[in-house]
A and B are shown apart, each in its own frame.
Chain A
């Protein structure tokens, strides 16, 4: 794609306010999310495999969540050790016994994958709480079509502009009667653009907690004349702990008091279900392939990056012996934080790390470093340079589980760096899935 097109697209991004916010030195600023015009291309056959594998994985994860909150058979059967479940910050005892509308826990799953140099895909992380980012490739495609209208039919690219329809269908499927709303913490949230754009595209109302209230275990929205309208589904973009000051963090100002009561009574769907954090915990990740076998009786189609749990004696020994070539992840951190590459540590730091792992083995996982592929990005001079990139695939579960034929390809802007998170300066690309 010529550099002029890239320039035009970025200009269009600015026009439509495609931004993400972040706090720097205590001040809220908004930045354009750097967009690179060279797309990632996924062949049709490759996507077929990803599609099958992702549907399988998300189905297994939904089974796991259902199980954990209704008896935890997988724990009794000793497939997953109970401490991994109950020490997880994402596990919410308050959700035990609640079956969400239609039995769906993870409606929107963001599964992070990387492709190794041999072409094989590995799952790096499951995001089952509030995976963000779908709006960026969605609007990027809209704008790219303006900048280069013919590129898509010429290259047989699957149209990805159906994300909002998929999301809308998912909301309607679990809606308990009433409005669909998107609950945002407000204007100063990092992903506010996404909240408002998805609201526009799905026809859902964008609301803040102060606009909602619960009466007799039913969730309502009050309009400016005091007329109340029932809410049937909430796509909430605030995390579990701030969701309901009556149940979780008591001084949360962005939550809706008693919303958990409405949810428990089956009067409203919460998208995604509270308590999902137990399934996308970095410690639980290790067990996802086992879940696929346990719940579905199938062999996992997509593999995890080779992972070790220092919790197990053998894995601890292995981790300590090979720490120089492993990546160590703190299971309680997110967003690219708490990730340490053994190869980058000094002797003293390595020893410190080892001591920490011995002291708190449950807190860490170690992984083989997957040397994932570089994708070309265009630098300021229009020259293609290679950078590490991952892929967040969006998998939506309503009546069925479907993979969006696109995704968020994030890349690092630093040579050789594996950290692609937007909060740490990464950019994004369009992801083309070919129709043949």
Chain B
């Protein structure tokens, strides 16, 4: 076990969050992408609402391009860049190989901009992100560093699943994964009070009524200790 400074802890945690945000947002985005093309061209508004983002787009096509490639901090291009910023300062922990997959994802994302078929052009981005997680698992089999990144990953995933109202069973599964990881962090890192709020809320499908409280607790389980 190495010595992880506060700054590293924070970088690792946010690397996990941003890599996951890019991955899950992109996958969910494609669901809405299909919907806006086939059924209801305004269904993207629902997507934005879930993420609490103001709709500044003129139409669905504007949304598709803008949400992917604009410079706003919520755009996929930005979240991927944030993942890269955090990965770059963790090279010596996560390894050049894992960092390279984020770099490759960035490069693939940039070059997808001019593609006719976005879904096809963005497939390598998903591939590289999965390769990134694979590379981490391979290199950091048991490390504390890996635990911190994974905490970031699952907290982010739950955050998005809550927002997009994924089904209860799926959310419970991910939550169990998070608990499994939190069991491995050193004492004092996991805020058990906030964890209890989540456990309580997820006992029934009724958690949606408490969404605000749930999200707040989720984001405080780990973050205050490392950021």
What is A's interface to B at a CB cutoff of 8 Å? 14-17, 179, 187, 192, 196-197, 199-200, 204-208, 210-211, 221-225, 227, 229
Does B201 make an interface contact (CB < 8 A)? no
**Minimum Cβ distance to chain A for residue B226 (Å):** 6
CB distance from B58 to the nearest CB of A (A): 32
User: Within the complex, what minimum Cβ distance (angstroms) separates B196 from chain A?
Assistant: 22
Q: Would A200 and B95 count as touching, CB distance under 8 A?
A: yes
Given A17-B88, A224-B226, answer yes or no on A197-B96 (Cβ-Cβ < 8 Å).
Answer: yes
CA of A17 to CA of B89 in the docked complex: distance in angstroms? Answer: 12
Please, could you name 10 A-B residue pairs with CB atoms under 8 Å apart, sorted by A? A15-B100, A16-B99, A16-B100, A17-B88, A17-B96, A200-B92, A223-B3, A224-B4, A225-B189, A225-B225
A433 to chain B, nearest CB (A): 25
Chain B at the A interface: SS class: helix
Assuming the A-B contacts A179-B3, A199-B91, are A224 and B103 also in contact, with contact meaning beta carbons closer than 8 angstroms in the complex? no
Contact B96 A205 (CB under 8 A): no
Interface contact A223-B92, CB-CB below 8 Å? no
Q: Report Cα–Cα, A207/B8, bound state, in Å.
A: 9
Q: Is B178 an interface residue (CB 8 A)?
A: no
Contact of B5 among A199, A200, A204, A224 (CB under 8 A): A224
Asked if B6 contacts A200 (CB within 8 A), the reply is no
Q: Write the nearest CB–CB distance from B223 to chain A, whole angstroms.
A: 12
> B4 to chain A: which residues have CB within 8 Å?
223-224
Closest CB-CB distance, B55 to chain A, in whole Å? 33
Chain B residues lying within 8 Å of A204, measured Cβ to Cβ, are 92
Minimum C-beta distance from B88 to chain A (A):
7
A17 to B103 CA separation, bound complex (whole angstroms)? 7
Best-surrounded residue of B6, B103, B104, B186 (most CB of chain A within 10 A):
B6
Q: Is the CB–CB distance between A206 and B92 below 8 Å?
A: yes
Taking a contact as CB atoms under 8 Å apart, the answer to whether B89 and A187 are in contact is yes
Contact in complex: A205, B3 (CB < 8 Å): yes
Task: Determine which of A14, A196, A210 lies in contact with B107 in the assembled complex, contact meaning CB atoms within 8 Å.
Answer: A14
- Collect the chain A residues with CB atoms within 8 Å of residue B103's CB: 14-17
Residues of A within 8 A of B3 (CB): 179, 205, 221, 223, 227, 229
| Min C-beta distance of A268 to chain B, whole Å | 15
| Bound: A227/B225 CA distance, A | 13
Give a binary string over B82-109; 1 marks a CB under 8 Å from any A CB, 0 the rest: 0001001101100110011001100100
Query: Would you call B5 and A223 a contact (CB within 8 A)?
Result: yes
